[in-house]
Structure 1
């Protein structure tokens, strides 16, 4: 554990969560010093352990998942069989111990287990519980299951993504989960502050679907004020031209946009085609949009033999919006990410050396840290029972015999 004073040191969290949305909240809290206990079971381990590659050396295994590792570093792991009275008893003790309870099960599951908010506040009047699920706890579709790609479609993202003449495009990964989890972490911290000032707990009902609407605010406002429905436009943008990704030399790509006529003139100068700025086909944004196919072909011909990183550096120096399109490998050697220590290498008990992802913000006086690699399944059963809950060796053995930790 970190020897540096951390902002959330002493905050206790129990996490009845799996996959991304719940555990990502816990990961951010753990990064800044909270003690986070992740709950799963041998019969039903976190789905990121068993359903999502990559795995160490390509061999699936409950303790070999890179996906689980990146969302669960700095935590403790306890296996509880919540179908047994003994498992429920330990879960209740953890709820009584915790300041914060995170869960992302379907609505009513926690209540049926006797672990919902009403039961939790009887055990712990000041507890903060966040329930993060697809649709929220109420409404006609509250019980609808699904994953982030479906929610992104439902929230309108996919309808705005892709070629106008083609189908909507699914976004890479559970994009909406991370919008919800980041908002959720903020809400939890606000409730924790209130808890410390007043002693009052809170139940936060976080609908991932609703969280995603924040990212289509412009399209929603346009429809509300004008009745216009935003449509797929490939890589085009109403306020910029050109606005696209262009193939460069060596298989690299460049993302490029110009938001004014002056910026386009600087682009033309940097590409050694200054005459383009005075060409009536391209001298205004409206003209560039009307002649976009021609313009894209000219830009592509200028870039096809050049390295995207080199071009981006020259364009940025000329105050033109441009970045190379990074591959996954590029992200591990990007000097900006290296300087800010986004990757923190830690030793995992089975995977070995793991590049853990640090939260994309830090605190100057109480900096965060990745205090350890993700735990193996159930590796902290005895430690958490003994050190956090004060369970004696004899009682632990009895609970184990009753199937609590299965």
Structure 2
């Protein structure tokens, strides 16, 4: 019996050494979770025996459990590297099999899907309105996340906002004589770029004509190509009246829409609403305080960003961004019940419970840190201490066997 007890102790110490050695060997593995060897005593008692005088029969390895504490976050230079700050797992599609991981080393394959280095596809939620910069996501339907690589669609200008100060002591002119080619027929002008439905940039000019002490007219025109002789052509709007009160504030209507028709490149008619809200007539010089429009040209993909809520944005050369999807995270009631598969992956088991998936930052799921990876949660200093402890345990149990052997030899040599 002492031999068996000592042998069980040797086996337990060996298992402890192996578990600690596995932790040490994976100290540099992304998303690795250290394991702990857990032991139980072996106690055998015959029927009718007396428990107060019974002696245990040694120890046995009861379980090797994973410790899902947070590993430190290490920042990288790859925007597709993802770390989970908190609980949860990335969901992977491995040819129809659902796997889970904490290792966020992702890249784009030749079909545009986000994959890890085993080719397993990252799962996410598609946008309800593809191409929108701020869409809602279909969280009840997971799919493989795929990056759009085509050009973003242009947006025609639909509104021009002009916030200017018109000099109150400017000379009054006859609005009927307005001619953009003759500077003496208008008081002030400014310009900006607008876009048609095909994304073609067009020069737009605003002209201001003072027609009375508190009355102005605003005119606009946009470029429309050139004629057969190479002479620039333009499309002009009607006059937009602007009336001010005695304190220089704009009164009456502050907006007016106009349609520019027959664009030279076949684009749709350009319907623009001119908004002059906030325009003033003060004694200072003419000034443009704000001048903007809402159109933009088409753009090429320049990069991909992922925010803390897991939303994947595509950035384009026209300064626009569109959401391509949202990373899905899954959590379990008992993560320690997950089955280790190797390659930083886990699989669901009966002990782990059903996956509870959702968007990052919701429920008990952590947030996403892009451009970073979660390092192993192995503490090398602690593991080295564990190695020393396991070694001492091994030596002590070996000594138990050696002592039992000496006692046996003594008994055998009795005469």
Give the TM-score band, short-chain normalised: under 0.3
Q: Which has the larger radius of gyration?
A: 2
- Tell which has more relative contact order, 1 or 2 (C-alpha 8 A, sep 6+): 2
Q: Which has the higher helix share?
A: 1
Q: Which has the higher strand share?
A: 2
Provide TM-score, normalisation by structure 1: 0.22
